[in-house]
Amino acid sequence: MALIGSTRRSRATRVPPVVLAFVLIPLLAEAFWVFWPALQGFYLSLTSWDGLAAPKFVGLGNYSEMVHDAVFRTAAINTVLWLLLFGGLSAALGLGAAMLLQKERRGIGFYRAALFLPVVFSLVATALVWQAMYQPDGLINNVLEAVGLGGWKHAWLADQDTAFYAVIVPALWRQVGYVMVLYLAGLKGIDPALYEAAKVDGASRWQQFRFVTLPQLRSVNAVVLSVIVIDSLRSFDVVWALTRGGPYHSSELLSTYMYSTAFQSLRLGYGSALAVVIFVLAFGVIVSYLVRAFREAD
Amino acid sequence: MTATHATAHSEDTESKAGPAEVVAPRRSWLHSRKLRTTGFHLTASLLSALWLLPIVLVLITSTRTFDDIAAHGVGSWPHSFTFDSFRQAWVDGGQQRALINSMLVTIPTVALSLGLASMAAFALSRYDMPFRRVLLLLMLGGNLLPPQILLIPVSKLSEVLGIYDQLYALIGVQVGFGVGFYVFVLHGFMRSIPGEIQQAAVIDGAGPWQIYWRIILPLARPALAALTALSFTWIFNDLLWAITVLRTDTQMPITASLIGLQGQYVSMWNVIAAGSVIAAAPTVAVFLRFQRHFVAGLNLGAVK
């Protein structure tokens, strides 16, 4: 530490201009494509705009319209449900898979790779793979028929009652491997002496999990939580590719509703307001992520 | 981050401890151990099979003929084998053009964003910049924003710049949006490089550019490799930015063109499956080739 401190001081004499440029160029690129558009986005949410004439300032009109918008309510509820279901299940299944596959042994590399492989697919490709399985004459219905559950057969994506859940499954299939990798790294970091001590104290496997593993994974849990919340609120591709939010908005998320409002109905002001709602939902997680990053950056 | 592998081995070696001292309780313990191992492999291979099933299925579907699918249903056993669907997706479905577009976007974007990010990370981690932490968090914060808030302004911005519907717009926004995250990860990595190396170079009369190019960048290679593998798949798999700043079918990258294929070849599952295989092949290749970097990258990005 002392050494680093002293090198810091000797470096502190002055920052050469070229080094300043090293920071400023990327910063300007980000300011141009992200910060400036983001500010515009907030402003546009206070306007009514068709993209052609000049935006008309309407104050909070877009937000008060949301209160009476049934589709918005569906999309908001679905987004929260998506967050809980997609988030909760991918965390639970990811942790489960990591627990199962944590020990280095023969064949483990294959099992891990199998679970991880879908992570590298685009969500669109993932969606198309599952779309074929969901067809009325597709694999899922055939399997149900074969095991005597023919009564459960569905047009999974065309049915209002099942479309939302049918869309979650492919998203989960792709996310579990990712969460597993994060948990595998976390599990590796746990000091084995803790388990030895727990065993000496006569702890059962469940108690070891409850009182050693889970507390030790606290920092990884925080990571997984932020990854999941940010990913959930960004979820768009898989829904767009499978149902476009339909049928009758039953699988609509705020992200898909925002996109169709803005780029298909060309209601750019209202679309911006929907985007601000997504931002507000994500805000807490973004801040907590930045706070952790801030501590780490020192 | 790269913690011990040692913990995992201890129990296994114990079980191979040697049959010489096998006594009754030891034998039953060994027996239950073997049962447990079998149980593990059974569970794990069932799980893997379940996970791989959709992939196997799409491969099978892509090699069936349309007549076969129409007659027996998309979920039946295959009664035909052909590679014609790949030709249809590749030539008639425009996947060839789309894959070229994807590469034209992905490769410059990866190079440009990692180049810019490594410069910023170098400056922020190796010099006492004023407002160092604020700048770092500002850049990271931009990357954490939900893209939805940017979509409308970015599409208008590219219209104003006269690059709407051109691949430059997609490259621009992908670089701008991604760079903050890469800066953050690379900063964390470069900070751990000892200061003495840099001091020695300064004494030898090296300027900042030489220190960056000759010393820090080569030392940061593991992090750069991990981020390259990761960012390649992210950018290649993107849909949202592409359909925001592009409009013409011939400009679309592969993910967006898959959606076009889906509309064009309704219920021709063989062509759609072939298209999905084509779209997934490059990232799968990157993953299989750079698996270690890939997994390392995911963990690098995780702020503890």
Could you tell me if residue B14 is inside a domain?
no
Could you tell me if residue B10 is inside a domain?
no
Instruction: Report d(CA A30, CA A25) in Å as an integer.
Output: 9
pLDDT at B302: 64
How many domains, in total, are found in chain B? Answer: 2
Q: Are residues B46 and B160 both part of a single domain? A: no
Domain boundary among the residues B59, B84, B109 is at B84
B131 in contact with A, Cβ within 8 Å: no
- Pinpoint the residues of chain A covered by CATH 1.10.3720.10: 70-253
Could you tell me if residue B50 is inside a domain?
yes
Q: Which amino acid makes up residue B188?
A: G
Q: Are residues B35 and B145 both part of a single domain? A: no
Chain B residue numbers with beta carbons less than 8 Å from the beta carbon of A166 are: none
3-state secondary structure of B163: coil
Instruction: Report d(CA B302, CA A182) in Å as an integer.
Output: 8
pLDDT at A50: 87
Could you tell me if residue B2 is inside a domain?
no
Q: Supply the range of the domain harboring residue B257.
A: 86-300
Q: Are residues B204 and B59 both part of a single domain? A: no
Percent of chain B whose pLDDT exceeds 70: 90
Could you tell me if residue B113 is inside a domain?
yes
B292 in contact with A, Cβ within 8 Å: no
**DSSP for A36-86, written as a single string:** HHHHHHHHHTTEE--SSSPPEE-TTHHHHHHHT-HHHHHHHHHHHHHHHHH
- Cβ <8 Å between A297 and B187: yes
Residues of B numbered 67-126 whose beta carbons fall under 8 angstroms of chain A's beta carbons: which are they? 73-76, 116-117, 119-120, 122-124, 126
pLDDT at B300: 75
* Structure ipTM over 0.90, yes or no: no
In which residue ranges of chain A is pLDDT below 70? 1-13, 297-298
Chain B residue numbers with beta carbons less than 8 Å from the beta carbon of A107 are: 41, 44-45
Instruction: Report d(CA B157, CA B177) in Å as an integer.
Output: 14
pLDDT at A176: 93
Q: Are residues B273 and B180 both part of a single domain? A: yes
pLDDT at B18: 43
Domain boundary among the residues B51, B84, B117 is at B84
**B41-49 contacts, C-beta under 8 A, 24 or more apart:** B41/A107, B43/A100, B44/A100, B44/A101, B44/A107, B44/A108, B44/A111, B45/A107, B45/A111, B47/A97, B47/A100, B47/A111, B47/A114, B47/A115, B48/A110, B48/A111, B48/A114, B48/A115
Q: Which amino acid makes up residue B253?
A: P
pLDDT at B239: 93
Could you tell me if residue B1 is inside a domain?
no
Instruction: Answer yes or no: CATH 1.10.3720.10 is held by domain A70-253.
Output: yes
Q: Encoding tokens for residue A54?
A: 């000049």
Report pLDDT digits (tens) over B65-101: 888 888 888 888 888 888 988 998 898 888 999 999 9
- Residue B202 near residue A52 (C-beta atoms within 8 A): no
**Model-level pTM?**
0.86
Give every CB contact of residue B172 below 8 A, 6+ residues apart in sequence.
A29, A33, B158, B163
Could you tell me if residue B157 is inside a domain?
yes
pLDDT at B15: 42
Q: Are residues B92 and B71 both part of a single domain? A: no
Q: Which of A32, A103, A296 is facing B188, going by the closest CB pair?
A: A296
SS (H, E, C) B13-66: HHHCCCHHHCCHHHHHHHHHHHHHHHHHHHHHHHHHHHHHHHHHHHHHHHCCCH
Q: Encoding tokens for residue A181?
A: 């990798």
In which residue ranges of chain B is pLDDT below 50? 1-22, 304
- Cβ <8 Å between B9 and A118: no
Could you tell me if residue B6 is inside a domain?
no
